[in-house]
């Protein structure tokens, strides 16, 4: 396994649409393993293949320690009407944070790393992370959805007043 370079927001690849994975090959499995190692080293909540320069529809989400979700060809099939206002950041856009509106609950259909179809329903942080990572596959960055970019002072104030994990990079 290897730590991959995370592409930064100035790279135009982040604005491209990722291609479907047709078959789980040893190369795809190796990419997933490298992405897992990269995500954990970066201490993020999620990572899309495009963020490591690969235009494939693969995302990882790990909002709780040792609760990793590998989503291949993810498709959001339902979202709640209830929205959450949350602090959001991105491994590809270091040092920038903003307020976004995301569905409070999301259901996604995907393949796991063995090619088996499954559905996953997540709420709160998991819902936010799923939406964030699926957006990456369409070339959408969180900054496209931000309602307010946070200043350093605002971010510090939020971090000091609320020690939950709403501010994790994705």
Q: How confident is the model at residue 170 (pLDDT cuts 50, 70, 90)?
A: low
Query: Catalytic: which of 62, 88, 133, 170?
Result: 133
Nearest to 58 by CA among 87, 88, 30, 96: 30
The predicted model gives 149-155 an average pLDDT of 94
116 given a catalytic annotation: no
CA distance 103 to 92: 22
What pTM was computed for the model? 0.92
Listed in order, strand segments (DSSP E) in 24-169 are 46-48, 58-61, 69-79, 83-90, 93-103, 105-111, 117-123, 146-149
Q: Give me the CATH code for the 12-161 domain, please.
A: 3.90.45.10
Residue 166 burial (CB < 10 Å; 0-12/13-18/19+)?
Answer: middle
pLDDT in tens, 49-61: 999 999 999 999 9
Q: Please write the tens of the pLDDT for every residue from 94-147.
A: 989 999 999 999 999 999 999 999 999 999 999 999 999 999 999 999 999 999
Q: How confident is the model at residue 169 (pLDDT cuts 50, 70, 90)?
A: low
Give the Cα separation of 75 and 35 in Å (integer): 20
């Amino acid at each position: 396994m290897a730590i991959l370079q995370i592409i930064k927001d100035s790279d135009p690849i982040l604005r491209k649409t990722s291609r479907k994975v047709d078959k789980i090959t040893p190369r795809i499995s190796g990419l997933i393993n490298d992405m897992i190692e990269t995500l954990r080293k970066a201490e993020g909540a999620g990572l899309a293949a495009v963020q490591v320069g690969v235009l494939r529809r693969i995302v990882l989400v790990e909002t709780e320690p040792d609760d990793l979700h590998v989503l291949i060809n993810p498709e959001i099939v339902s979202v709640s009407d209830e929205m959450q206002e949350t602090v959001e950041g991105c491994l590809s856009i270091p040092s920038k944070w903003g307020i976004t509106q995301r569905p409070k609950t999301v259901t996604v259909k995907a393949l796991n790393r063995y090619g088996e179809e499954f559905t996953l329903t997540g709420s709160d942080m998991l819902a936010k992370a799923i939406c964030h990572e699926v957006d990456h596959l369409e070339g959408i960055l969180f900054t496209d959805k931000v309602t307010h970019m946070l200043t350093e002072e605002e971010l510090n104030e939020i971090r000091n007043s609320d020690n939950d994990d709403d501010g994790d990079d994705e």
